Amino acid sequence: MNFIIQSKALLQQLQIVGGVVAGNSNLPILNDFLFDIRNGELTIYGSDLETTISSKIPVQANEDGRIAIQAKLLTDTLKTFPDQPLTFTVHPENHSVTVTSETGKYKVAGHDPAEFPSIPEFEGGASVSMDSAVLAQAIHKTIFATSNDEMRPVMMGVYFELGPDGVNFVATDAHKLVKYSRTDISSSEVRSIILPKKPLNLLKGILLGFDTPVSLVFNEKNLIFQFDNITVQSRLIEGKYPNYESVIPKNNPNQLVVDKNQFLTTLRRVSIFANKTTYQVRLKMTGSELQISAEDLDFANEAYERIVCNYSGNDMEIGFNSKFLNEMLSNLDSENVIMDLSESTRAGILRPSEVPDENEKLMMLVMPIMLNN
């Protein structure tokens, strides 16, 4: 079997699919791309058993066929070529591949394509469509809040909550929670799924190069993202997501409005002096002043700064993990941020003061730390 393809075009597709290829898997076939040629079209597959990415590209081929090729070796080789046509000759008797360029030949060891994991058949399910930029934004705003606790697998993914009034993307690790909502995306029926963060991280990177609608099709066990010539298929996390709405305080009479960049830079500076176990910083709000302080009693280190703010409500002090605050503020795209508070033992809610898109809503919740008096 022979096929001809431009080196640059092939490399672009390999770099997209290659994100899911482990490169050091204990199962050697998972270190390979699967090339599948049918009717003059090459489909490239990469898989880690949980997630499969495929990309399609037209080729000049003399017949249909399949071959598994070492991913890293092929990608590294293509990176060195100027753009030119390459001829791939597949030798089915030993599963090797000869690549012929304008100036040389390169032999690549392959594997039997029958060893490559079978692509799960997808039957039935619901579907919804959204713009690629919206999906990338939703992933970016939520994925940092997912848990790494393998004892609670449902919290290791992002919760997609679909309904006729819109869609919610939710992530939490029990210390922080993010809810990103869109009213311009809807589903005719109420459905919810939990998607692992690995395929979402891969998808976020891929989506940066596209401006196109993305179709989400899902059933009880799997989900497929389809756009342009790319398909990303992943298993879903099974289980019941926690009732996140129950932890969001509904009555928050105290409101802090502060310049985000000033708050963030001050927080980063002061938190250097915080205890390296709790990372606790203390916020004290009084009128038009926000005091930010931290201390590490074990090493007699402490820091204190005050910045101008707009605060309405009763004077109060509250402690937070500075790492969590830092992550949240870094993911708020707004000149000023609003923090809604009720009391020192209840969660604080962060949100942007300016929302550029009327169809989106972003809310971030952070649990307090008991203050050391």
**Does a structural domain hold residue 218?**
yes
Domains: count for the chain = 3
> Residue 258: pLDDT above 70?
yes
Residue ranges making up the domain that contains 315: 248-366
Residues 210 and 277 in one domain: no
**Does a structural domain hold residue 318?**
yes
Amino acid 126: pLDDT: 84
**Does a structural domain hold residue 313?**
yes
**Does a structural domain hold residue 175?**
no
Q: How far apart are CA 302 and CA 295, in angstroms?
A: 4
> Residue 162: pLDDT above 70?
yes
Amino acid 188: pLDDT: 82
H or E stretch at 11: helix 7-17
Q: What digits encode the pLDDT tens for the residues 317-353? A: 999 999 999 999 999 999 999 999 999 999 999 999 9
Mean pLDDT on 238-264: 96
Mean pLDDT on 177-194: 92
| Residue at which a domain ends, from 224, 244, 264 | 244
**How much is the pTM?**
0.92
**Does a structural domain hold residue 171?**
no
> Residue 373: pLDDT above 90?
no
> Residue 146: pLDDT above 70?
yes
59's CB contacts (< 8 A; 6+ apart) are 3, 4, 5, 37, 40, 41, 42
State the average pLDDT for the chain.
Answer: 94
**Does a structural domain hold residue 168?**
no
Banded pLDDT at 119 (limits 50, 70, 90) = confident
| Residue at which a domain ends, from 115, 143, 171 | 115
DSSP characters over 67-86: EEEEHHHHHHHHTTSPS-EE
**Does a structural domain hold residue 373?**
no
> Residue 120: pLDDT above 80?
no
Residues 204 and 263 in one domain: no
**Does a structural domain hold residue 340?**
yes
> Residue 125: pLDDT above 80?
no
> Residue 225: pLDDT above 70?
yes
Domain with residue 75: its CATH number is 3.10.150.10
Residues 135 and 82 in one domain: no
Q: How far apart are CA 333 and CA 63, in angstroms?
A: 52
> Residue 36: pLDDT above 70?
yes
Q: How far apart are CA 83 and CA 22, in angstroms?
A: 27
> Residue 372: pLDDT above 80?
no
Amino acid 123: pLDDT: 74
Residues 253 and 360 in one domain: yes
Residues 92 and 154 in one domain: no
| Residue at which a domain ends, from 244, 263, 280 | 244
Long-range residue pairs from 22-26, CB within 8 A, at least 24 positions apart, any chain? 22/48, 23/71, 23/72
Residues 33 and 135 in one domain: no
Residues 258 and 331 in one domain: yes
Q: What digits encode the pLDDT tens for the residues 275-302? A: 999 999 999 999 899 999 999 999 999 9
Residues 94 and 195 in one domain: no
Residues 36 and 77 in one domain: yes
Residues 236 and 134 in one domain: yes
On whether the CB atoms of residues 216 and 224 are closer than 8 A, the answer is yes
